[in-house]
Structure 1
Amino acid sequence: MRLKSLILGAALAALALPAAAQELTAITGGKILTGTSVIENGTVVIQNGRVVAVGVMAPPATARIIDATGKVVSPGFVAVDSGLGASEISSVGGSDDLRNSANSISASFDVSYGLDPWSFTLPVARLGGITRAVVVPAHPGGGGGGHAHDDSDFAGVSDGFQSPSLFAGQAAIIHLAQGNDILVKPRVAMVAPFGEAGAGVAGGARGAEFVQFKETLAEVRLYARNKAAYDRAGLRDLSLSRADLEALIPVANGEMPLIVTVRRAADIQQVLRLAREEGVKIILDGVEEGWLVADQIAAANVAVLLNPISNLPGNLETRAARMENAAALQAAGVTIAIKGNEGSIHRARETRYNAGNAVSHGLPYAAAIEAITVNPAKIFGMAGQVGELRPGAAADVVVWSGDPLEPLSIAEHIWINGQEQAPTSRQFLLRDRYKDGGEGAMPPAYTR
């Protein structure tokens, strides 16, 4: 009953919001971080879910005015390598839709079908300024929604198919607005582990995984050229199901990016070589030792998803991990996107803290803002649409009490697609319920 009342309270709060998507709203007087520039004492005008104007100007006479004098206005942040909306409690299997172990559904696993718009994790992340997220299936060695991943998977064949597969499934983009449909775009990238975790999947050795990966792509291309023969059982047996083969065709053709989790510098070099040989478009994830080969990553024009506070050599893959990794990669010309912590679910709100830590270790402030706004948008095909305050972009806007990279700053106003969001979460509802001993706060047998 109490849980139901908390959910109902959040729903009623959403219904009570006065701002509608079509309302003309002007945010005036603030320091505007557009994502690519800074405008002092500027104005952001939003209407019909879009940014209408940005600059130093008088607000429209008919607009609702939000006075942001002395405050900071930014685009909504974009969480990458996240499990938001697809995992409630990672240790409770029924609430975690990020992990799949069916050997016939691997590359074709579509995480978008498990999304929960009513997840308790979404409002918490939203209060951290996050308005969009790239939701990534969990896999050995990865960070997509899991707190601890088992790198000891073994290779084998079950029912004629790879078991487990090299591929974890397909990522999706969501927005964090209140409502019953958070999916923005499904199947935006494929996911696969390399390095130590990938070697575990392939049989124990890194070389085995690379050979298996190349053979898998060869099978996918063979299938794509001979679908009619496959339909009449006129093609040799293949190691993936039809669903997985179909899902991998865009990867083999270089159309769908492959998110590759890799940490060691030597493994990064080999993954870059593999991508070059196979014509595969990749996004590197993790990359703790990336600073050692930053020039090679930049030359390959490959983007990186990283956690800049990952600096402890927990194993031999991360011997050279250091807090200056983000700064070194950015200085070399690599497009970086900064991640949250522990799968970016319950701690997704810490994305901005991580960006601030990167600044304290050499990353320019403007580059840190880009790494949580325009860069993720560009990496995942949303450039100009989100992560930036510019005319025509989605009206994902946050008014901060101060510097958004400062932990004590709070999000005072949040808009997603032009709709203002209730500044609350389940934690706030619990606080309000119990702090003053309100109705139902204490069971009858207890005294205060």
Structure 2
Amino acid sequence: MSRRLPRAMTRLLIMGALLAATLPVAAQSLLIRGATVHTAGPQGSLQNTDVLVRNGRVAAVGAGLAAGDAQVVEANGRPLTPTLFGGVTGIGIEEVSGERGTRDDRLSLGEASDMAVRPEFDVTLAFNPDSIVIPVARVEGIGFTLISAGSASSIIGGQGAVMRLDGSVDPAGPKVLYLSLGAGGAEQSGSSRAAQWMLLDQLIDEARGRLPADSHVAALTPAGKRALAPYLDGRGTIVVGVNRAADIRQLLRWSKRHGLRIAIRGGAEGWRVASELAAANVPVFVDPLVNLPSDFDQIGATMENAARLQAAGVRVGFAQASDASHNARKLRQLAGNAVAHGLPWDAGLAGLTRVPAETFGVGESIGTIAVGRTADLVLWSGDPLDVTSTADQVWFDGRAIEMRSRQTELRDRYLRPATPASEGGLPRAYLKR
């Protein structure tokens, strides 16, 4: 005959079970043995090397490491890299690009002529770690992305940050501010790129308290002034969308005059001012497939842009020019194209790992394989910059993820033998006749 537990003890057991369910699972030790380890750091690429992971971090890198109680994965010479950067995207804040109700990346307040400047607009607050777009990216080796913000009424788009694609809700690093210049910001600046510099200088004067309290050009809210403060103090990075060489040159002068820290997204004509970019230590995130004069801001576009920038000493990263959220997995293909047009292979990998991690404030934890770094790793079937290679396994904090997404599930469903549903096959509508 069973005895019922006292009510107080029952409550205690339930509370204990609930608490255990909320605690993180203890990280499993892992040894990846015999890999070609592309560290993306000072050690470069290491042949037939082991990587030992304990407590979610890289504990050792070397040959012949003892496994101890660690789970062993035999790499058999396959490439091992840090997880890759997905570019500047709307991953986690955009489900379907053509359906406005599923997008949280853009602010729209009134007409463009109203110049509703809202640097306090922060898209990280809308990030959804359960987005169906995330597994599609991470099974392809993408481990982190910089989510973007835009505005229909201002050349200042708002703020974003690096998000790891491991299920985390909060940003992995500091916020960045978005700014759009040249033709990309013309509609928000009186249809003149000359007006952009005037407006930016006025905003800086306002944020720094140089405008009279009753000034008719005041555009910032108190929250907006607070949001701009770290960027105007040089503590935050401003990501500037710009392509034309003349605009880049003016941007470098403007940022130096005000003591601002910037990174460029686009830079189609960056190679024309490569020495100036290198001297200013400004990283450039390019799309290597932008090689045609599709508008007057990129008449000098070339597939050798990345190679020429890197040769001049510029830190080069990668970001797609369009449809980035749903095609983040193609960014390594773009890096491969840059390598095919003169960029050194190591620089191509760095542009997908170390360069974005360091630029956007997460380089102390991810972006390289080194002792003490977070064990966000990818084991590849072949060269990660070759489009024919695939990610065999991805780890976050040393934990293997399930290599499955909605796309793989659909693939597996429709590749199944066309047998009747009663026999466990496809529904009738999908049977071949």
Q: Give the TM-score normalised by the residue count of structure 1.
A: 0.84
Matched, 1:166 2:155: yes
* Identical residues among aligned pairs (%): 36
CA contact (8 A) 2:29 2:398 kept: no
Matched, 1:376 2:356: yes
CA distance in 2, matches of 1:366, 1:279: 31
| Deviation (angstroms), 1:348 | 0.2
Partner in structure 1 of residue 129 of structure 2: 117
| Deviation (angstroms), 1:253 | 1.6
Partner in structure 2 of residue 216 of structure 1: 203
CA contact (8 A) 1:79 1:340 kept: no
| Deviation (angstroms), 1:60 | 2.2
| Deviation (angstroms), 1:444 | 4.5
1:28 to 21, 33, 40: 33
Letter in 2 for 1:195: G
1:175 to 157, 164, 168: 164
Partner in structure 1 of residue 3 of structure 2: none
Correspondence list, 1:311-326, <5 A: 311-326=291-306
DSSP 3-state at the match of 2:278 = helix
Q: CA 1:434/1:290 → structure 2, altered by over 3 Å: closer, same or farther?
A: same
Partner in structure 1 of residue 104 of structure 2: 97
Partner in structure 1 of residue 120 of structure 2: 108
Matched, 1:434 2:414: yes
Runs of 4+, deviation exceeding 6 Å? none
| Deviation (angstroms), 1:330 | 0.5
CA contact (8 A) 1:81 1:305 kept: no
Partner in structure 1 of residue 78 of structure 2: 71
| Deviation (angstroms), 1:340 | 3.8
Partner in structure 1 of residue 307 of structure 2: 327
CA contact (8 A) 1:341 1:348 kept: no
CA contact (8 A) 2:124 2:171 kept: no
Partner in structure 2 of residue 15 of structure 1: none
CA distance in 1, matches of 2:274, 2:255: 16
DSSP 3-state at the match of 1:321 = coil
CA distance in 1, matches of 2:371, 2:309: 30
2:69 to 50, 62, 67: 62
Partner in structure 1 of residue 4 of structure 2: none
DSSP 3-state at the match of 1:314 = coil
CA contact (8 A) 1:171 1:189 kept: yes
Matched, 1:47 2:54: yes
Partner in structure 2 of residue 204 of structure 1: 191
CA distance in 2, matches of 1:444, 1:20: 43
DSSP 3-state at the match of 1:248 = helix
Partner in structure 2 of residue 266 of structure 1: 246
Partner in structure 2 of residue 307 of structure 1: 287
Task: Give a deviation string over 1:201-242, Cα, whole Å, max 9, x none.
Answer: 11011111101100100000008xx9xxx9xxx665621222
CA contact (8 A) 1:171 1:186 kept: no
DSSP 3-state at the match of 1:190 = strand
Matched, 1:132 2:119: no
| Deviation (angstroms), 1:305 | 1.1
* Of 80-89 and 336-345, the range deviating more from structure 2: 336-345
Letter in 2 for 1:137: A
CA contact (8 A) 1:355 1:369 kept: yes
| Deviation (angstroms), 1:435 | 2.3
CA distance in 1, matches of 2:332, 2:407: 20
* Of 301-310 and 290-299, the range deviating more from structure 2: 301-310
Matched, 1:292 2:272: yes
| Deviation (angstroms), 1:21 | 5.5
CA distance in 2, matches of 1:314, 1:51: 45
CA distance in 2, matches of 1:374, 1:73: 15
CA distance in 2, matches of 1:137, 1:251: 16
DSSP 3-state at the match of 1:168 = strand
DSSP 3-state at the match of 1:337 = strand
CA distance in 2, matches of 1:59, 1:190: 46
Which stretches in structure 1 are left out of the alignment for 5+ residues?
A: 1-18, 140-152, 154-163
CA distance in 2, matches of 1:441, 1:337: 46
Q: CA 1:390/1:447 → structure 2, altered by over 3 Å: closer, same or farther?
A: closer
CA distance in 2, matches of 1:63, 1:121: 32
CA contact (8 A) 1:386 1:393 kept: yes
Q: CA 1:446/1:421 → structure 2, altered by over 3 Å: closer, same or farther?
A: closer
1:352 to 332, 344, 354: 332
| Deviation (angstroms), 1:323 | 0.3
CA distance in 1, matches of 2:34, 2:229: 50
CA distance in 2, matches of 1:424, 1:340: 24
CA contact (8 A) 1:21 1:49 kept: no
Q: CA 1:66/1:341 → structure 2, altered by over 3 Å: closer, same or farther?
A: farther
DSSP 3-state at the match of 2:106 = coil
CA distance in 2, matches of 1:443, 1:128: 30
Q: CA 1:186/1:236 → structure 2, altered by over 3 Å: closer, same or farther?
A: farther
Q: CA RMSD in A?
A: 2.1
CA distance in 1, matches of 2:293, 2:30: 49
CA distance in 1, matches of 2:163, 2:307: 28
CA distance in 1, matches of 2:98, 2:180: 21
1:240 to 205, 220, 227: 220
CA distance in 2, matches of 1:311, 1:447: 45
DSSP 3-state at the match of 2:81 = strand
Equivalent residues, number: 397
Q: CA 1:186/1:381 → structure 2, altered by over 3 Å: closer, same or farther?
A: closer
Q: CA 1:165/1:202 → structure 2, altered by over 3 Å: closer, same or farther?
A: same
DSSP 3-state at the match of 1:346 = helix
Q: Give the TM-score normalised by the residue count of structure 2.
A: 0.87
| Deviation (angstroms), 1:441 | 6.2
DSSP 3-state at the match of 2:95 = coil
CA contact (8 A) 2:173 2:361 kept: no
| Deviation (angstroms), 1:166 | 2.4
DSSP 3-state at the match of 1:133 = strand
Q: CA 1:319/1:442 → structure 2, altered by over 3 Å: closer, same or farther?
A: same
Task: Give a deviation string over 1:267-286, Cα, whole Å, max 9, x none.
Answer: 11011111111111111110
| Deviation (angstroms), 1:64 | 0.7
CA contact (8 A) 1:105 1:243 kept: no
